[in-house]
A and B are shown apart, each in its own frame.
Chain A
Amino acid sequence: MKKNNLQNHRQKWSRCLSIALITVFMLSCNLYALAQAQKVTGKVTDAITSESLVGVSVYVKGTQNGTTTDIKGEFTLNDVNKGQILVFSFIGMKTTEIVVDARTTYEVAMQSEATGLDEVVVIGYGTQRKGDVTSSISTVKSDNFLKGQVKDAGQLIQGKVAGLSITTPSGNPSDQTQIMLRGITTLSGSTQPLILIDGIEGTLTSVAPEDIESIDVLKDGSAAAIYGTRGTNGVILISTKKVKGDMPATLEYSTYISMQAIARQADFLTAEDYRRLITEGKPLNDYGASTNWLDEVTRNPFSQMHNLSLKGGTLNSNYIATANYNVAQGLFEKSYDDRLNTRLEVNHGMFDGLIKLNAGIIGDYNKNFNIYPYRQALIRNPTDAVQDENGDWVEHPGVFQYENPVAWNEETLGENTSQTLRIHGSILVEPVQGLRFKILGSTNRYNYMTGYSETKKHISNVRDGKNGFASRSAAAALDNLLEMTCEYNKTFGKSAFTVLGGYSYNDQIGENFYEDNFDFPTDAFSYNNMGTGSALLRGDANMSSYKSSSTLIGFFGRVNYNYAEKYLLMASVRQEGSSKFGENNQWGTFPALSAGWRISKESFLEGVKVIDDLKIRAGYGVTGTEPSSPYMSLTRLMYSGYVLVNGEWVPQILPASNPNPDLKWEKKQEMNFGLDFSIYKGRVTGNIDYYIRTTKDMLWEYQVPSPPNLYPTIIANVGEMENKGLEAMISVIPVKTNDFQWTASVSYSGNKNKLVSLSNDLYQASNDWFEAGYTGDPIQQSTHRVQIGNPIGDFYGVKSIDIDENGEWIIEGADGQPKSINDKVEEDKQVLGNGLPKHYLGFNNTFRYKNFDLNMTMRGAFGFQILNFQRMFYENPTINIRYNVLSSAYDKVYGKEVLDYTQEYVSYYIEDGDYWKIDNVTLGYTLKDNTISFLKNARVYFSCLNMATFTGYSGIDPEVNRMGLAPGNDERDKYPTTRSFSLGVNLTF
């Protein structure tokens, strides 16, 4: 009986398999079933431009009878019956359906998809019509991306999403953009948004910018709560380019070449300045040469990008393969960042769409190196020579922290490489209309390796006797994901709902290794023969390794309901557990609820023709933040240090930290109120959002008494932070004709941050403040104060108000009276400004005239201050004896006296940071139709990034670091930002 059953099963399986194989075979051979009916022809055009559309997929609904439009936009279909439906689909256009009647010729004008309400928005574990969305979600399509030499996916949407502050504070080609959503919400938790590439966690560089179709940002808590613990900092959903419908094999090649120049150079003294100052009696050293040290170590970097993509498919099967090679030189000699991104994705539908299979591979290979001799190039005496008459590097070993930057470059070798490989696949089953089961699995493997070495001519030997130094490090990470979802949507009369349920399992393993060694017999091996160094044998070298793992499990569900497209409701909940927390607090619940009312659908507005759409919405959602490292709730013991016992040094064992078994999730609750509108037939659209986000149970290194605690701090859930803000985005199409169109959009966001408390039941805050930020050596003061009741980002120090006849600071004392800085006491310190902008503004314009298009992205930040470290350290003549300084160092302070005081953190160096940037200007020309016979499409463009900055700030770039607890510090070593010019070509074959 059992055996029979088994056999039966086997037979059925093999039958299924053969049917599947046959189906695949049939599909790939494009063998369509024949039938007797009429022949239809037609032409497809763009409804706005009236130009013919090439490559539009045309097929008869429910059959495999289909074709694509030719270069004139025309199509022919045989065997079409009356009453059947023709489906026209094309990327960027709304899918159009026409019922076949007696006619044999059809003129079809396709509408652009971007008209709004029917546009599909990615909402996490699914999509939704934009008109039905009840939370704050922003979508940016590829047409709207920043053009030219962009660093990563983040820069593509810089200035395009209200409330999402994306900064590029560094010109380093290996540095990513900084992303902050709706203010600072945490003290020590992660500030990284969750980045999902087609639903699976990745990074901003996982796929090439050129391979991205659209980016959706889930901003408010009600939208992000479906991602539970990882949703607090927003969710960025990156959708890669897909093939839709029937498409002949299409090859696309795009490329750009790019030149960069330093955007603004710090004005340091030249050799001539030195000689002039010496004649004026300043005790400076003239070594006799004239060297521009910055020129010696920098260049105008040249970069190039090549993107090749091949895609195609039938109605049921399609593929896309992309290779993207990006070679970026850094501003500094020898620094570079090369990246190869590849992606292969295959989709296949079976059994009339019953089953859909998807599989893909994403690979990312990166190689970079950067020595960064910037500081030494700035502070080096310009009268010094690079090399002496013997060709040896000129060094002055006795001068503290003073090293030849060219020698650094030339006597250092290094390489950092990383590979990421992601393999993913999913099976979607739709047994009945509207019911879908999906299983998705992915594995992501990351490997990283570095090598670094310094020769015997490096300062590490010339001064410190290292006799050749080398290090190697390696890291690996494995990230596995399994997700199962079930979705059902149904319409009853005027009611429509979608129900989603799912399970997600994610485990991560991270490990790393580091070693260094010195005292090598030869420079010949660089870092490739670590064992030949002697320092390791003597116990002078370092070696370390670490491994950790964690698991995250989530159950989630969501209901979307709408009545007559008028009353909209969304409710979701995620129950999530993380191994990083104490046994009693591993699981957390993250609910969300949002509702919308499309007033425009009400009868009383139906007659108002001006209004296309008007919707108000409100939402509430809870999201969480994980601690960055695992194991913090456990009592861990470590081997650390040695103790001398009977003449032997014995490794000792001791607790690693004060454990906190009650550690739990940091939770953020967010209320969001929004308004969406579209008037004058989509000519004016926009949305406005107001939010209040409160973070509770903030993770923080809390002070505890010692005794009885071994260590003075414990990580605990204390404190509360609040962010309130307003965001608005308004798009206008002032001019719209066949030949000319102008689209403009303005985005605004403002945020107010406040630290509400730093206590909980068990732990009462010792002080209502703590210090953050650090000036560094030799000033050695903290720059910021984080205080209950105040916002994050407050600069805190003494306020300079004048200078005395000796060139020493006069400061404002605690009593408001002037006093000498020499009498400074702690109480004199006060809040000197804030490094977080209060307002962000973006202004984007697109002009299209016939085949030309011009894009202009502008953005600015207002209402904040910057601590100019470069001035604080180098606008000071007292250090000129040893180091080069800014030429402004000899200017009179407050117009009175030249400074004669040690480097000091005073308010004189805090400046207003307001700026307005013309960030990206792109001029493009598109060749259409059959201008060149073998090309389907061609486009040439010229683009400039970081074109101009209007600011009163005297430093290099007012776009400085805004992350963490010390925002607004313009570090003296900040990698100078660059202006880049790119020339690009996109070709479609």
Chain B
Amino acid sequence: MKSKILKYFFVAGLGLTMIFFSCTKLDETVYTELIAEQFNPTESDVASVMGPIYSNLRNVVSGWAGLYDVIEESSDAIVTPVRPNGWDDGGMYRRMHKHTWTPEEYHTSALWTRLYRGVTHANRALYMIETGTLPIATNKENYIAEIKTARAFYYYLLLDNFGNVPIVTQFDVEEGFLPAQNTRKQVYDFVESEIKANIELLSDVNDATTYGRFNKWAAYTILAKIYLNAEVYTGTPQWAACLDACNKVIASGKYQLEPVYSDLFKTNNEGSTETIFAVPYDDIYGDWLHWHMKTLHPLNQSTYDLQESPWGGSCAIPQFINTYNSKDKRLAQTWISGQQFSSGGDSLFCNMGADKMGLPLNFINFVQSADYSAEDEGYRMGKYEIKMGAKGMLSNDVPFFRLADVMMMKAECLLRTGDAGGAATIVSEIRARSFDNPADANVTGTQLQGNSAYAYGFVENGVITQPDHSGSIQYGRFLDELGWEFAAELHRRSDLIRFGVYTTKTWLSHRPNGAYRSLFPIPQDQLNNNTNLKQNDGY
């Protein structure tokens, strides 16, 4: 009996053993993501595949310590000083202001990675289209041209900020591939040739289909930008080429100046007649434009009925504010100043630092230093409309290129090539909308050739104690005009460099710290990870 039972168990056991011993499969089932090998896109996926090339710009422009912070905080108009509620963060904002950033700096390392992420997204999309993984029946070459232009735009930003960067155009590289470094001149040439090679394949319309994308006129603006700064990038100026590119855009007739300056920056500014290339944002779909959070006092939550409490950090440098003409409407359209109220009209009172506790919250044009400032110090950046009831992010699009920008580039070319009068006409045309009295808007060529109104100098306890004596700035007034028109529009750094101010002048707590600071260092982690890279001179 027992042996028979045994036999059955042996048979059953052996059977089970056979079944389970053969069960050694370790396949993975993925539920919530797609596996690349199994993803077969069709033409309807083109927008989804190309999408990251453009949407990545939101992160570039306004990510944490993004391009806005890199450009504005290292320049003479905006600062993030230490506040009673913090904003030291290991000194990262102060180092940007004082030009003491290091190759380990988060601001610049993040910028590098974000820019190259755009390049890699572009290379990947090109690879998918060119290999047929992403099949496109018609207009294939137009898509390719657009992607290459977008990639050239990323390289333009790399050229401007880091200079000597590797040019990578392949996606399917072998494992462990380390790109070789290129010179700033090579990067310049690459951007120029890529755009020239593709510009005729780009759309020449300006409507919803091209909004937030590169059409022919946005591509010409990139060209104008590199020509405008060609002397900085390559040592050889290209004023004529710049003028030519600007004229192409202006002559297209696709763009008109906004009659009201602030309309350019309002919540629903998409499709503005003046905007040539915008980075679109949305408080639901397109995060994360948070500049109002960074600049407003926490109490301003009640001013705009915000859904989150602002963080109370960055503000205008008083020396910059002092350059404004008091009749210039752009002062109030760009900066928030004076007594602050709740939406119900109640006055707000300081509540953070011992020095100002209980006093009215009145944003004053006074900042002790980058090393310490009270909660009410400094005008706040309010250029981009903060809609009532806004969230921690806004829906305003950031106009990256706009007609006034192209016109000012043209004016600068004229000014620098001897036509001061022609330049003044353009500048006056742009100024017209910002003054109630048209006469106040007019400038002359002589004025544009004059010095800047900016009282450069080192500030202690809010007072200029060491005025700057390094001499006047050629076309300094034109630089001021650029400052007023394009404050907080990611312009200031390259303008200061072109006008020879960025690494020579002193402002607030900033002192010049070497001409090599006009280029940012190659991030240390990139140097470590790619032995082909050499650090920029001076670092």
Contacts and interface: CB of A to CB of B under 8 A. Distances in A.
Contacts of A19: 1
Given A429-B13, A647-B211, A650-B51, A551 B32 contact: no
Nearest to A538: B284
Contacts of A540: 284, 391
Contact of A650 (B20, B34, B47): B47
Contact of A465 (B21, B208, B305): B305
Interface in B56-93: 82, 84-91
B308 interface: yes
Given A643-B47, A645-B47, A550 B28 contact: yes
A644 B280 contact: yes
Interface in B76-130: 82, 84-91, 102, 104, 112-113, 116-117, 119-121, 124
Interface string B38-61: 010100010111111011000000
B31 A547 contact: yes
B21 A503 contact: yes
B258 interface: no
A902 B88 contact: yes
B251 interface: no
Interface string B180-197: 000000000000000000
A949 interface: no
Interface string A699-731: 000011111111110000000000000000000
Nearest to B391: A540
Contacts of B463: none
Contacts of A630: 28
A580 B26 CA distance: 8
A380 B407 CA distance: 56
B484 to A, nearest CB: 30
Given A653-B48, A709-B120, A400 B298 contact: yes
Nearest to A540: B284
Interface in A756-785: 762, 764-767, 777-781
Given A397-B302, A400-B352, A637 B35 contact: yes
A544 to B, nearest CB: 9
A466 B307 contact: yes
A463 interface: yes
A48 B191 CA distance: 93
A69 B88 CA distance: 77
A464 B293 CA distance: 14
A172 interface: no
B29 A549 contact: yes
Contacts of A639: 48
B173 A708 contact: yes
Contact of B51 (A354, A355, A642): A642
Nearest to B308: A464
A579 interface: yes
B247 interface: no
B533 to A, nearest CB: 8
Given A400-B85, A642-B55, A545 B32 contact: yes
Contact of B91 (A538, A656, A824): A824
Nearest to A460: B307
A398 B299 contact: yes
B119 A707 contact: yes
B282 interface: yes
B37 A653 contact: no
A780 B91 contact: no
Interface in A623-660: 630-631, 634-639, 641-647, 649-656, 659
B17 interface: yes
B51 A636 contact: no
Interface string B1-26: 11011101110010011001101111
Interface residues of B, number: 107
B168 A708 contact: yes
Nearest to B207: A646
Contact of A636 (B35, B50, B171, B529): B35
Interface string A851-882: 00000000000000000000000000010011
Contact of B285 (A398, A638, A642, A653): A642
A705 B530 contact: yes
A645 B51 contact: yes
Contacts, number: 262
A351 interface: yes
A92 B28 CA distance: 47
B16 A484 contact: yes
B28 A634 contact: yes
Contacts of B31: 511, 546-549
Contacts of A302: none
A507 B529 CA distance: 38
Given A641-B52, A703-B525, A708-B173, A646 B208 contact: yes
B156 to A, nearest CB: 16
B52 A505 contact: no
A637 B32 CA distance: 10
Contacts of A651: 48, 51
Contacts of A762: 175-176
A439 interface: yes
A577 B525 contact: no
A577 B307 CA distance: 50
B6 A398 contact: no
B389 to A, nearest CB: 7
Given A654-B121, A882-B352, A777 B86 contact: yes
Nearest to B53: A643
Interface in A1-49: 12-13, 16, 19
Contact of B357 (A283, A484, A631): A283
B307 A766 contact: no
A176 interface: no
B35 A712 contact: no
A878 B120 CA distance: 48
Contact of A631 (B33, B51, B121, B280): B33
B308 A635 contact: no
B6 A354 contact: yes
Contacts of B213: 645
Contact of B301 (A398, A550, A636, A659): A398
Interface string B278-303: 00101011110000000000110110
Nearest to A429: B9
Contacts of B26: 551, 553, 577-579, 586
B55 A881 contact: no
A494 to B, nearest CB: 31
Contacts of A578: 26
Interface of B: 1-2, 4-6, 8-10, 13, 16-17, 20-21, 23-37, 39, 41, 45, 47-52, 54-55, 82, 84-91, 102, 104, 112-113, 116-117, 119-121, 124, 166, 168, 170-171, 173, 175-179, 208-209, 211-213, 270, 280, 282, 284-287, 298-299, 301-302, 305-309, 312, 348, 351-354, 357-358, 371, 389, 391, 524-526, 528-530, 533
A-B complex: 9 closest residue pairs judged by Cβ atoms? A652-B51, A778-B86, A766-B528, A643-B51, A635-B36, A649-B285, A705-B530, A547-B31, A705-B529
Given A643-B55, A655-B36, 6 more contacts: A505-B20, A577-B24, A707-B116, A764-B528, A778-B86, A878-B84
Interface of A: 12-13, 16, 19, 283, 351-352, 354-355, 396-401, 429, 431, 437, 439, 463-466, 482, 484, 503, 505, 511, 538-540, 545-551, 553, 577-580, 586, 630-631, 634-639, 641-647, 649-656, 659, 703-712, 762, 764-767, 777-781, 822, 824, 826, 878, 881-882, 902
26 contacts: A19-B1, A398-B302, A400-B298, A400-B352, A505-B20, A511-B31, A551-B26, A577-B26, A637-B33, A641-B55, A642-B55, A645-B47, A651-B51, A652-B51, A654-B52, A703-B525, A707-B119, A708-B170, A710-B117, A710-B121, A711-B117, A762-B175, A762-B176, A767-B524, A826-B102, A881-B357
